[in-house]
């Protein structure tokens, strides 16, 4: 099992009396699809409370197979790496009629991208030359 760590940052900002709040989180990667982020905003200034949320979360999984032939000193290793990138945007609005009844509206979009690649390497004696 391999564990990969990446540097990240998170922060939260709220105004006095909690009438609005912004939350962010960021993880830095090597390419655009390696970046993870999350941003949310909540506005509670009036009776209509509303908020927005967006995020990108990358996932990587993989497997490695090594094989060779008996009697030959060469071993071939194949690593399959599968990637998923989840991107989403959501919004919500809430209108309270009383402490027991309220109207809630929400909606959003989500996109999931897939990719894979195979890395092949050989281990064996150096070629005679």
| The model's pTM | 0.68
128 lies in some domain: no
129 lies in some domain: no
109 lies in some domain: yes
CB neighbour list of residue 39: distance below 8 Å, 6 or more residues apart: 22, 23, 24, 53, 54, 55
DSSP state of 124: -
2 lies in some domain: no
**pLDDT value at residue 24:** 87
Domain count, the chain: 1
Look at residue 33 and give its three-state secondary structure: helix
Q: Give the residue numbers spanning the domain of 83.
A: 8-123
**pLDDT value at residue 15:** 65
Over the chain (129 residues), the average pLDDT of each successive run of 10 is 59 70 85 85 90 92 83 83 93 93 96 92 71
């Amino acid at each position: 099992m391999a564990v990969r760590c990446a540097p990240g940052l998170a922060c939260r900002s709220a105004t006095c009396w909690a009438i609005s709040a912004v939350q962010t989180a960021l993880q830095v990667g090597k390419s655009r699809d390696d970046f993870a982020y999350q941003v949310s905003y909540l506005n509670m200034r009036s009776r209509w409370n509303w908020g927005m949320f967006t995020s990108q979360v990358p996932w990587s999984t993989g497997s490695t197979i090594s094989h060779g032939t008996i009697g030959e000193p060469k071993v071939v290793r194949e690593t399959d790496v599968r990637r998923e990138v989840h991107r989403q945007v959501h919004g919500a609005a809430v209108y309270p009629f009383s402490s027991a009844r309220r109207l809630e509206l929400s909606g959003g979009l989500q996109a999931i991208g897939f990719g894979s690649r195979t890395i092949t390497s050989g281990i064996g004696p150096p070629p005679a030359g």
